Amino acid sequence: MPKRQSTAARRARAAAREGAKYTTALRAETDTDAQPAVRPETLRYAEELRNNPGKASADGHTGWTCSVGASLLVDAMTPGPGKLGTLHAVIYACPKHQAAAEERVTGAGYGPEVRQAPPGHRWDPWPCGHVTAYSRKALGALDAARDGAEHTTARPEETDQEALGRTFPGDGGPWVSAWTGDPHNDVNAACGHHLRALCGGCGVCTTCDGCYCAEAAEEARADAETARAYAVHAEHQDHAADCYLCNDERDRSEGYARCWKCGLAFPDGRFDLVTHTPGYCFRLHPQPSGIDWSYLRGQDVRLVGTHYTINGHVPVDQAAPDPADLSPHLTLVRTDPGYEGEESPFNPREWLEVHPAPPAA
pLDDT exceeds 90 at position 91: yes
- pLDDT, tens digit (0-9, with 9 covering 90-100), for 54-66: 766 788 888 888 8
Return the pLDDT at 109: 86
pLDDT, tens digit (0-9, with 9 covering 90-100), for 263-314: 788 888 898 888 887 777 766 788 888 899 999 999 999 999 878 899 999 9
Q: What are 143-152's contacts with CB under 8 Å, separation 24+?
A: 143/60, 144/108, 145/104, 145/105, 145/107, 145/108, 146/62, 146/63, 146/104, 149/107, 150/107, 151/107, 151/108, 151/109, 152/109
Q: What whole-number distance in Å separates Cα of residue 107 and Cα of residue 139?
A: 12
Q: What is the mean pLDDT of residues 141-156?
A: 59
CA gap 78, 126 in Å, rounded = 24
Confidence (pLDDT) at 317? 94
124: confidence class by pLDDT, cuts 50, 70, 90: confident
Q: Position 297: which residue type?
A: R
pLDDT band at residue 185 using 50, 70 and 90 as cut-offs: low
* CA 91 to the chain's CA centroid: 30
Give the number of C-alpha atoms closer than 13 A to the C-alpha of residue 80, restricted to the C-beta side: 15
pLDDT at 285: 80
Q: Kindly write down the DSSP assignment for every residue of 323-344, as one continuous string.
A: TT-SS--EEEEE-STT-TT-EE
pLDDT the model gives residue 11:
56
pLDDT, tens digit, for every residue of 223-247?
A: 888 889 999 998 898 899 999 999 9
Give the C-alpha separation, 233 to 255, whole Å: 17
Judged against a pLDDT cut of 70, whether residue 186 lies above it is answered with no
Q: Is pLDDT of 262 > 80?
A: no
What pTM was computed for the model?
A: 0.36
Instruction: Count other C-beta atoms under 10 Å from residue 228's C-beta.
Output: 10
Question: Confidence band (pLDDT; 50, 70, 90) for 49?
Answer: confident
Q: Which residues contact 314 (CB under 8 A, 6 or more apart)?
A: 296, 297, 298, 299, 301, 330, 331, 332, 333
Write down how long the chain is: 361
Q: According to the model, what pLDDT value does residue 118 have?
A: 82
Q: What are phi and psi of 77, to 5 degrees?
A: -120, 155
Higher per-residue pLDDT: 14 or 296: 296
DSSP state of 73: E
